[in-house]
Amino acid sequence: MFTVRRQQPFTEEHESLIIGLFDRPVKFEEKLLELDHSFSGQLTELVKSGDISARKEQIAKIHTFGQIPSKRLYMIGLGKEKESSFEDIREAFGVVFKRIKKDKLEETAIYLDSFTTEKVEALDVAHALSEAFALATYQFEDYKQKPNEPEKCIERIVVYTEEADSEEINAALTVGYAYGKGTNSARTLVNTPGNLLTATDLAEYAKELAEKYSFEVEVLEKDDMIKLGMGAMLAVNQGSAEPPKMIVLKYQAKDEWTDVIGLVGKGITFDTGGYSIKTKAGIVGMKTDMGGAAAVLGAMEVIGELRPEQNVVAVIPSTDNMISGNALKPDDVIMSMSGKTIEVLNTDAEGRLVLADAVTYAKHHGANYLVDVATLTGGVITALGTETTGAMTNNDEWYQQVFEASIEAGEPIWRLPIFEKDKQRVRNSKMADLNNSPGSEGHAIMGGAFIGEFADTTPWVHLDIAGTATTKKGGNLGPSGATGVMVRTLALLVERFQ
């Protein structure tokens, strides 16, 4: 896919050549001066006329007519050099890769040095390049009839640099591409219809990951859950014809099973709401209620590719939430694996129930630090919108590590509080230790506070991705539909763990 060459790119033939253009007083100078000379100064004239712009994300496509060996130039505006960030560079690559895909080109070259700044060095640019390539060119293979002729796509990218070490650039390209591909895998899982992705299918997918990356794998069946007392998980599954699965993947990078990070992902493959049934509008799209599970599996793919020196256990509780004569009912009281009893006031608050047993089981497997990821509440969308993931925690230091990973990944999170009175609300039941739905006030906080009862004193962060797991409009780094949010944050968290 990627080839690195330590030279200028202006003497070799390619279908296209991508150049980054910063907004400087003199547009073509230093390294790009030779390129302008090849066109007898006409590129400068195109800048003066406005046909080439250095404004952010502006693309100029120029046919070279033999002035250089490459057939087309794509010049992408990067804005002010001093203001340009890693995220800006990644977005710019996303813009130009989407354009090249639209133009149905199979090969391109990139002059890496034209994208570097004092703040964004060559290795960062290489990471941004490969990550953006994977993300921006992603397309879900839907179920429409396809033409016999295969669609052309980018198959080869030649990266030119005169300054950076080619082996280090290759390594950065590998890392960025792994992050992008892991995110795309999560996107595909979330986009897949519920009838084609049951809990059994999700378990089979996890087994395939385990085989590919030599993870230890365990899949608990219904009988296993009964023996372990996973009453919360089993209660949600009561109304379903599909058997539940508790999926566990373990990656051990150290001699001893210590300092284990536990990643827990909600895997509700379709959510009707149960007897607290959703509206006819609200029920559409509930195939995406396993977005947390997809994020964890995507992160495990990245971990498998890059092999960080950190122990990780991933736990995914998976079932659908259906209605039948045997389904869970409001007013039922159930027993969780932890021994805590739960009064069910809302069967549509099922995610926190399966996560309760999953968090307990992650601790059973030795997790010393916990992150759970879930499309948990509509309340987080009301609070934070669709660009920011809600977060809650019981440990400031652990939260800071998650927060820093999210910023580096470009997947922002915002912390919501859990005060003692919030905890008392989820403990307020005449029938049981906890209730699963204290009311609509502070809805997102109540969901997090409930899960926190099972994390107990283990450092824990809850990530509510109900607003960020999908998008209605495409962007520079992907189409509408599933976003694969939190794959990169979780992978970075594991990689940067201290």
CA 152 vs. chain centroid, Å, equals 26
Distances (CA, A) of 252 to 311, 339, 461, 485: 5, 29, 22, 25
- The amino acid that residue 471 corresponds to is T
Cα–Cα distance list, 138 to 131, 186, 202, 295 (Å): 11, 11, 21, 16
- In whole angstroms, what is the distance from residue 468 CA to residue 283 CA? 18
Residues 6+ apart with CB under 8 A from 461: 370, 371, 372, 391, 392, 393, 395, 398, 399, 402
Q: Looking at 90, 187, 352, 488, which residue is catalytic?
A: 352
The gap between the terminal CA atoms of the chain, to the nearest Å, is 33
Tokens of 487: 């794959």
**In 365-417, alpha helices (H):** 379-384, 396-409
415 carries an active-site annotation: no
| 3 state DSSP class of 33 | helix
Let me know how long the chain is. 498
Say which of 222, 278, 415, 423 is annotated catalytic: 278
**Residues in Cβ contact with 304 at an 8 Å cutoff, skipping those fewer than 6 apart:** 209, 212, 213, 214, 215, 251
Strand order in the sheet with 341-343: 333-335, 341-343, 434-435
For residue 157, which phi and psi values (nearest 5 degrees)?
-130, 120
For 496: left if phi > 0, alpha if psi spans -120 to 50, otherwise beta; the answer is alpha
Closest CA relative to residue 377, chosen from 441, 435, 458? 441
- Within 10 angstroms of residue 144's Cβ, the number of other Cβ atoms is 5
Question: Please, is 366 exposed, middle or buried when counting C-beta atoms within 10 Å of its C-beta (0-12, 13-18, 19+)?
Answer: middle
Dihedral angle over CA of 159, 160, 165, 167, nearest 10: 30
User: At residue 107, what are phi and psi to the nearest 5 degrees?
Assistant: -150, 145
Q: Which residues contact 137 (CB under 8 A, 6 or more apart)?
A: 97, 98, 101, 153, 154
Q: Does residue 278 have an active-site annotation? A: yes
From 477, 446, 479, select the one nearest 464 (Cα to Cα).
Answer: 446
Supply angle C-alpha 207, 136, 292, rounded to 5: 40
Catalogue the active-site residues.
278, 352
